[in-house]
Structure 1
Amino acid sequence: MNSSNLPYNPRLDQLRWLAATIVFLFHFYLEYRGQGGVQITNDWLGLISEGHTGVALFFTLSGFLFMQIAQYQQQIDYREFLRNRCLRILPLFLTIFAVALSIGRDKFTPQDLLYLFATNLGLAPTSYTPITGAAWSISVEFWFYLVFPFLARFTLQYGARYLLKLLALMLFFKVASYTVNEKSTLMYFSTMVGRFDQFLVGMLAAVLYQRHSGWIQRYVGWLLPLAALLVVADSALQSHVAKFEPYTHRPFWIVWSLLESIGWSTLIMAWVAYKRPLPNWLDRTLGQGGRISFSFYLLHMGVLHVWMQYVGLPAITTNHWINTSVALIATYAVTWLLSTLCYSAVEQPFLALRRSYGTRNVAV
């Protein structure tokens, strides 16, 4: 996505597409299971059965991208930064929130409006229905936006060791929280205690990439497949040791988000360093997927839910896997088309209002 704050890098849009697609496959799998589909038992397919890891890629990528902007601009205007982030996420987020309030009108109480800042907590109106359920992560992301300009300033001033100190503190908070929360899995999954380190790891990756980009580009030929293997192994490990079951209490989840984001940050650095051009048609397609990824992410659960309610797994042939593939391709295509419409009608007009929030080569 083009920005006035950093030269455009198509690799980042391609990673956004990847994150949205992984989350889509995860929720398709859950809906498929609800239709009586076969359960995945192979841990090496964890990118699908534990495909919520796509959210971790979104969070890690946010930390990486914004730290790259901070390194490029050297100075971030706090007010302009928040203005841009509000223009980026609020139009569509408020649309989804309004839909959630409408669906739950009979349960509405005035204090529900405060969930605008915390759709990841408690009984948020967006959590009552799968159609708006994906909105939980937007509140987590926005809390990161509130503190990022300060984190960027201190990182530019003190270097990577500042981020390492914060990661150490986060690890302590995770351990301490585990001792007092009997349903810690959901806490780690959807709160800042469980997710803030993923933003920090993304920022740290941006610092490392700036310092060692030459080395990374030199060895990207083996680093890229190694990073992809690490991501797959992380999901396989989670599938084997501690599947996502919201109301459980497993110590693996203390380190889960850190391991997950280390894998994704390695892939981010390797993919950004990979300079071989993709075929034009693929580059354009994945770029478009990245541009509409926010709409895609917030709308895909609604598409899947409606499809499974009214169509399900169509009995086009006698082969179960062909029928499943047809449903997968059809729902992905419908989500893509609807997201393109939503991006054009809701997101794009507001994105045009964004301004630069930094001054190049001015000390923080």
Structure 2
Amino acid sequence: MQSLNIQYNPRIDQLRWLAATVVFLFHFHLEYRGLSGAGLSGPWSALITEGHTGVGLFFTLSGFLFMQIALVQKQIVYRDFVRNRVLRIFPLFLTIFLVATSIGRDKFQPQDLLYLFATNLGLAPTSGTVVTGAAWTISVEFLFYMVFPFLARFAMERGLRYLANLLVLMAFFKVAAYTVNDNSTLMYFSTFVGRFDQFLIGMAAAMLLQGRRARLQEFAPLLLAAASALVVCTTALMHTVAPFGGAPKSSFWIGWSMLESAGWAFFIVAWVSFQRRLPGAIERALCHGGKVSFSFYLLHMGVLHVLATKVGLVRPTGHAGLDAAIMLAASYGITWLLATISYNTIEEPFLRMRRSYGARQAPAVAPAA
């Protein structure tokens, strides 16, 4: 996705595609099992059965990317930064919010408009149906946007120790909240207490990458293999010890977001450092997937639910695995097409209104993010 603030890196778009696809697979699996289809089981399929981890990748990637921009620009102009974030997020997010309030019109209260700023809390209209349920993450993301310019400034002034101190404070808040919250798993999953450390870890990863790029590029294939194994193993561990949807209160979740984000931060650094190009068609397809990933993410649950309720379980071949693959490919393709239409119609016109928010001008080359 094009930006005015940093040189374009297709790897970032590819990571966005990956995050959106992992979340899609998670929700497809839930809908498929809800139709009495044969589901996956066992820890080594946890990247799908616990595919909500794609949200952790999104959050970590946001911290990483914006810290990279801050390191290039040296100073972020707060007003212009927030303006760009509003233009990036609000048009589609408001559309989804209005869909949610339309669906729940009989229960709507005027004060529900305040949920525009807190869709991850309470009885937000977007949480009333799976069609708009994915929107909870946007409020958490926007909270990070509101404070990021300050965090970036202080981190550049004081170094990694500043972010480390914030992570210590976040760990304390997690422990304290655990002692008084009876549904701590959901709290850690969807609130500031549970998720803000993932943005900080992404920022730290960007700072660690700075000045070490050449060395990391040398060992990128090995690092990528190790990072992939770490992500698979940590997700398998969560599935084994404390799966989401299991116990409402588990001490494992106190440290889960940091463990999850550390794995994804390692993967981000390895993938960004990986210099080998993918085949042209694949490279273009994944970059397009990253470009439309916001629309893909916000619309995919609606697509899956409509297909589940109006089409149901399809068995064109009679072979369970092949039938599941056909349903997956069809629903993914429909979501991809709808996301492309949404991006071109709702997102892209507003994206053209953005401007540089750095204190110095960005390089005059095709930029991204």
Structure 1 length normalisation: TM-score?
Answer: 0.98
2:51 is matched with 51
1:106 is matched with 106
Equivalent residues in 2 for 1:32-51 (5 A)?
A: 32-51=32-51
Is residue 170 of structure 2 the alignment partner of residue 170 of structure 1? yes
Contact (CA 8 Å) 2:37, 2:313: kept in 1 or not? no
1:92 is matched with 92
1:207 is matched with 207
Moved over 4 A (4+): none
1:184 is matched with 184
> How much does 1:220 deviate?
1.1
1:124 is matched with 124
- Higher RCO (CA 8 Å, separation ≥ 6 residues): 2
1:276 is matched with 276
1:198 is matched with 198
> How much does 1:325 deviate?
1.1
Supply the distance in 1 between the matched residues of 2:161 and 2:246 (Cα, whole angstroms).
34
> How much does 1:312 deviate?
1.6
> How much does 1:40 deviate?
2.4
Supply the distance in 2 between the matched residues of 1:30 and 1:361 (Cα, whole angstroms).
46
1:299 is matched with 299
Contact (CA 8 Å) 1:185, 1:249: kept in 2 or not? yes
How many residues are paired up? Answer: 362
> How much does 1:321 deviate?
1.6
Is residue 28 of structure 2 the alignment partner of residue 61 of structure 1? no
Query: Could you say what the CA RMSD is over the residues aligned between the two structures, in angstroms?
Result: 1.1
> How much does 1:213 deviate?
1.6
Supply the distance in 2 between the matched residues of 1:275 and 1:322 (Cα, whole angstroms).
35
Contact (CA 8 Å) 1:183, 1:246: kept in 2 or not? no
User: What secondary structure is seen at the aligned counterpart in 2 of 1:211?
Assistant: coil
Supply the distance in 2 between the matched residues of 1:99 and 1:131 (Cα, whole angstroms).
9
Contact (CA 8 Å) 1:296, 1:336: kept in 2 or not? yes
Whichever residue aligns with residue 86 of structure 1, its letter is V
1:353 is matched with 353
Supply the distance in 2 between the matched residues of 1:293 and 1:318 (Cα, whole angstroms).
33
Supply the distance in 2 between the matched residues of 1:344 and 1:166 (Cα, whole angstroms).
39
Whichever residue aligns with residue 334 of structure 2, its letter is V
Supply the distance in 2 between the matched residues of 1:146 and 1:315 (Cα, whole angstroms).
48
The superposition leaves residues 188-224 of structure 1 with CA deviations (integer Å, 9 ceiling, x where unpaired) of: 0000100000000000000000032222112112111
Is residue 145 of structure 2 the alignment partner of residue 145 of structure 1? yes
Whichever residue aligns with residue 5 of structure 2, its letter is N
User: What secondary structure is seen at the aligned counterpart in 1 of 2:355?
Assistant: coil
Is residue 320 of structure 2 the alignment partner of residue 324 of structure 1? no
Whichever residue aligns with residue 100 of structure 2, its letter is A
Whichever residue aligns with residue 273 of structure 2, its letter is A
User: What secondary structure is seen at the aligned counterpart in 1 of 2:2?
Assistant: coil
> Which deviates more from structure 2 when the two are superposed, residues 51-60 or residues 39-48?
39-48
1:23 is matched with 23
Supply the distance in 2 between the matched residues of 1:181 and 1:165 (Cα, whole angstroms).
24
Supply the distance in 1 between the matched residues of 2:247 and 2:338 (Cα, whole angstroms).
33
Supply the distance in 1 between the matched residues of 2:162 and 2:35 (Cα, whole angstroms).
49
Contact (CA 8 Å) 2:88, 2:350: kept in 1 or not? yes
> How much does 1:246 deviate?
6.7
> How much does 1:41 deviate?
2.1
Supply the distance in 2 between the matched residues of 1:293 and 1:83 (Cα, whole angstroms).
21
Supply the distance in 2 between the matched residues of 1:21 and 1:284 (Cα, whole angstroms).
16
1:256 is matched with 256
The superposition leaves residues 1-46 of structure 1 with CA deviations (integer Å, 9 ceiling, x where unpaired) of: 1110000000000000000000000000000110112232210110
Identity within the alignment, %: 63
Contact (CA 8 Å) 1:178, 1:254: kept in 2 or not? yes
